[in-house]
Amino acid sequence: MRRITPATLKAWINDGQELAILDAREDGEFGRSHLFWANPCGLSRAELRARLLLPRPATRVVCVDGGEQGPTGRPLAEHLAGLLAGIGCTDVAVLDGGTPAWAAAGYVLFSGMNVPSKAFGEWVEHHYHTPSVDPAELKAMMEGGQDMVILDSRPMDEFHRMSIPGAIDVPGGELVYRIGEIAPDPATTIVVNCAGRTRSIMGAESLRSAGIPNKVVALRNGTMGWELAGFSCENGKTASYPRGVPGTLPTALARASAFAEAWGVRRIDRAGLDALLADPARTTHVLDVRDPAEYAAGHLPGSRSAPGGQLVQGTDNWVAVRGARLVLVDDTGVRARMTGGWLRQLGQWEVFVLEDGLEGPLEQGHPAPACPEAAALRPATVAPAELSALLAEGSAQVVQLSRSTDFREGHIPGALWGVRSRLAGLAPRLAGARRVVVAGPDEAIARLAVPELQALAAAPVMLLAGGLAAWKAAGLPLARDRRTPADADCIDAYLRPYDRNDGVEAAMREYLSWEIDLVHEVARDGDARFGTR
């Protein structure tokens, strides 16, 4: 197995060639300390995630960890490198000594998730002088009856959880596309917020960079700042933008086109896309930047759903390859152009807008990622009703592989929470089980866990047919326990302040300070070239 030094990897990051840095730790571990351009690729989901991040098997890849040992005593990065080789990757190396060696060589490590995008948001605020208002100013504007709209730039699930009073949900990728109908009067002030800082800044600056005539400001520190100022958020709201193609499309397209062209976003047709995909020397990601519901109704086969605002906010969720080509798809071109202009500034990827991407046969739904390893397994299954009966008589133990924060919100009663890369820790609790049943939201991951648990348990291990979706569809109960797993045990998730059980206010303040300080840490690191063409 090829190993490289920190100095070699540092040189590779800046040599202009394609490179992906994949960190083998789970998200919670990754979030504590990692390289700036690294992407989380935890072993618990690596078979699925690696294929999505590396569509071209010949891509140069470096696997990283923090010095932790995997289930067989080998470093986690070596496990990931072996897995990548097994799925056909041909240019894989391991960073010798992992992140401790990187730090010892004098290079910078970062905490948190989506760091390139978060740091870019801070750079945008500094570079473009994005105006903002603090919560007290916004409160006074509201009480004074000022002509304004408050637009929450997060997805609906986050907005529904908590929102600024009177706000409506308009995810960041929709803002320039929809603003002509939402705020047709140039005298209306537009306030953009998110939970913290990045999407507030990016949403406000998108509108400003598109040249809309209204006064636009970001809400400083978002809903966190609002609550820290002593104001209350609303819960359960669903106010949103009108669906469909807006009547103001021509104006929105003209604005987005000027922004995209200024930053070197190019146009391409289907024949051009086919040529890019056929190029064995370069990686091409095809990303549909529309609302997920639009994607599900019909999308270009082979494209991935990556709503524009979320893509810019968390680019490392979709793109791992430095130097890759990104082809963005939507129906009218507005959302793809705005997203593309920001991606050019963030990571200097080659960005194309696909002009005819929704012509011809389309695919529906949200296709599951390919996972031949899971498809090859044929575990015994148990139906939801049968499992319910087994649980009632005490003859089955469920291991549920949901994300820790999701497990807290809803799990099969009596289930143990598990992470595939750490299943060995459950062995003592499975010793007396008569049957073990694996359940989860993702059938491929649950299927892969069956033989792994079988190696740890004397009892037969089975798969819940249809997973948690089937359990819910059968009307069977779910338990909720906010403190299981405990905050310290959530290795699979880097907990947001709102996810924590204790110290929420302190966590909010720490998070906001972390975002603000990122711009200085990025300058010290030197590997980001924000705003260059």
What is the tens place of the pLDDT at every residue in 424-454? 999 999 998 999 999 999 999 999 999 999 9
pLDDT > 80? residue 72: no
In this prediction, residue 184 carries a pLDDT of 97
User: What would the mean pLDDT of 409-413 be, rounded to a whole number?
Assistant: 97
Structure confidence by residue, pLDDT tens digits, 254-268? 999 999 999 999 999
Q: What is the Cα–Cα distance from 419 to 403, expressed in whole angstroms?
A: 8
pLDDT > 80? residue 317: yes
User: Which residue, among 294, 278, 308, 311, has the nearest Cα to 362 in the 3D structure?
Assistant: 294
In this prediction, residue 180 carries a pLDDT of 97
Structure confidence by residue, pLDDT tens digits, 86-109? 999 999 999 999 999 999 999 999
The tokens of 216 are what? 């636009």
228: burial class by Cβ within 10 Å (0-12, 13-18, 19+)? middle
Structure confidence by residue, pLDDT tens digits, 210-226? 999 999 999 999 999 99
In this prediction, residue 375 carries a pLDDT of 95
Residue 497's contacts (CB-CB under 8 Å, 6 or more residues apart) are 224, 504, 507, 508, 510, 511
- The CATH code that applies to domain 255-354 is 3.40.250.10
pLDDT > 90? residue 463: yes
Across 414-425, b (16+ Cβ under 10 Å) vs e yields ebbbbbbbbbee
In this prediction, residue 273 carries a pLDDT of 97
In this prediction, residue 159 carries a pLDDT of 98
Query: Rounded to the nearest 5°, which phi and psi values hold at 328?
Result: -105, 135
Structure confidence by residue, pLDDT tens digits, 369-409? 899 999 999 999 999 999 999 999 999 999 999 999 999 99
Residues listed for the chain: 533
441: burial class by Cβ within 10 Å (0-12, 13-18, 19+)? middle
Sign of the CA dihedral 508, 510, 514, 520? positive
Per domain, the residue ranges of the chain are 3-112, 119-252, 255-354, 378-482
Sign of the CA dihedral 443, 444, 445, 448? positive
pLDDT > 90? residue 70: no
Q: Are 351 and 343 in contact (CB under 8 A)?
A: yes
pLDDT > 80? residue 531: yes
Q: What is the Cα–Cα distance from 224 to 216, expressed in whole angstroms?
A: 20
Which pairing describes strands 350-354 and 325-329: parallel, antiparallel, or unpaired?
parallel
- Strand extents, DSSP E, 128-227: 132-133, 148-152, 168-169, 189-193, 216-219
In this prediction, residue 69 carries a pLDDT of 82
* Beta pairing partners, 398: 437
In this prediction, residue 73 carries a pLDDT of 77
Structure confidence by residue, pLDDT tens digits, 322-361? 999 999 999 999 999 999 999 999 998 999 999 999 998 9
User: What would the mean pLDDT of 231-251 be, rounded to a whole number?
Assistant: 97
What band does 532 get if pLDDT is binned at 50, 70 and 90?
confident
Instruction: Please give the CATH superfamily to which domain 3-112 belongs.
Output: Rhodanese-like domain (3.40.250.10)
Structure confidence by residue, pLDDT tens digits, 197-206? 999 999 999 9
The tokens of 76 are what? 């986690």
Lowest mean pLDDT segment, chosen from 67-81, 129-143, 323-337: 67-81
In this prediction, residue 426 carries a pLDDT of 96
Residue 237's contacts (CB-CB under 8 Å, 6 or more residues apart) are 159, 160, 163, 167, 169
Structure confidence by residue, pLDDT tens digits, 270-305? 999 999 999 999 999 999 999 999 999 999 999 999
296: burial class by Cβ within 10 Å (0-12, 13-18, 19+)? middle
Which pairing describes strands 216-219 and 189-193: parallel, antiparallel, or unpaired?
parallel
Work out the mean pLDDT of the chain and round it to a whole number: 96
Fold of the domain spanning 119-252: Oxidized Rhodanese; domain 1 (3.40.250)
Fold of the domain spanning 378-482: Oxidized Rhodanese; domain 1 (3.40.250)
In this prediction, residue 284 carries a pLDDT of 98
Instruction: Return the CA Rg of the chain.
Output: 24
pTM given for the model = 0.95
Structure confidence by residue, pLDDT tens digits, 34-47? 999 999 999 999 99
Percentage of the chain beyond pLDDT 90 is 97
pLDDT > 80? residue 26: yes
Percentage of the chain beyond pLDDT 70 is 100
User: What would the mean pLDDT of 164-170 be, rounded to a whole number?
Assistant: 98
pLDDT > 90? residue 533: no
